[in-house]
Amino acid sequence: MQRIVHLEGESLIAEIRRPDFPHQWIEYPRTDASQAAERLAEATIAIVNKLPLDKDLLAASPGLRMVAVSATGTNNIDLDACEERGIVVSNIRGYAVHTVPEHVMSLLLALARDIVGYRQAVLAGEWQRSAQFCCFAHPIRDLHGAILAVIGSGSLGNGVARLAAAFGMRVLRVERKDAAQVRPGYTPFAQALRQADAISLHCPLTPTTRHLIGEAELRTMKPSALLINTARGGLVDEAALATALRQGWIAGAGFDVLSTEPPKDGNVLLDPRLLALPNFLLTPHVAWASRPAMQALADQLTANLEAFARGQPQNRVA
């Protein structure tokens, strides 16, 4: 009988169907690093979302045979250690193909049309004091005709590209930053930064993508450009971004992620003065979290467990 330990139950608002093989299901609302070893001591399957599973923790879990990740990203798991110990790691794929792209377009629209700025204008009474029927407090841009550079060509990047095209945007597929050759249909990384009116990030966080966008890249972008990040906070040098927004290197940014989450010890992007800017929008890692998307994730999670139990693991990353 499998002993399944779900370590982060509160990270998902959905009905998780119990798998159709003999098992014991133990669920905790949340687990911190100091509790993980004890809770996994007798587990054969661990379900995790963002909890770090390092080499030492895996070594302290001798019966562990599978890690079922209730997310797409696996940068919190020591995949090499899992392979060494013969632990199968499966993640979730394709569940957020509508919700994340819609969030990206929401951020783009809000920034391009300065929705926050206009709301603040109404709250400040500027429309009420206007001598005419409207209030031209801020310039408004259309997405139609603008160039969007999409960095990352998975299901989410492709979903954003489809919605952007429907808005009449010209979409650039961006080649990897360190690529020796440019694939057909792709634009060189530096060229895309120079041309884009907006950039949307959809790549995993790896040693090669950490701080993919730093001071040099932000200075390369147009002063009128927008930067959207719904992928991973570490893809962007946050200190450099804060400076870029304050000094006007770029026109604005919409983020759904930070380098450390939750940001209990603070973060340069949580400076109240920065958050008060109408051209910086920060949401608390919820781009993925529509109710339909979370249910699709839960259904795929159970399917991953059942595939493993059949001896035919799916969505393997290790």
Catalytic residues: 232, 261, 285
Asked whether the beta carbons of 150 and 172 are under 8 A apart, the reply is yes
Whether the bond into 262 is cis, omega within 30 of 0: yes
Asked whether the beta carbons of 108 and 254 are under 8 A apart, the reply is yes
* Nearest alpha-carbon partner for 198 in 234, 233, 172: 172
Q: Which two tokens stand for residue 309?
A: 């139990």
Q: Among positive and negative, which fits the CA dihedral 88, 94, 99, 100?
A: positive
Read off the amino acid at residue 269: L
- Alpha-carbon distance of 151 to 111, in angstroms, equals 19
* Nearest alpha-carbon partner for 174 in 159, 163, 160, 185: 185
Contacts of 232 (CB under 8 A, 6+ apart): 73, 75, 204, 205, 257
Total Cβ atoms within 10 A of residue 271:
14
- Alpha-carbon distance of 254 to 248, in angstroms, equals 15
Read off the amino acid at residue 37: A
Residue whose entry in the numeric block shows the structure tokens 């719904």: 230
Asked whether the beta carbons of 172 and 200 are under 8 A apart, the reply is no
Neighbour-count burial of 75, counting CB atoms closer than 10 A to its CB (0-12 exposed, 13-18 middle, 19+ buried):
middle
Angle, helices 99-112/115-123, rounded to nearest 10 degrees: 60
- Alpha-carbon distance of 46 to 90, in angstroms, equals 11
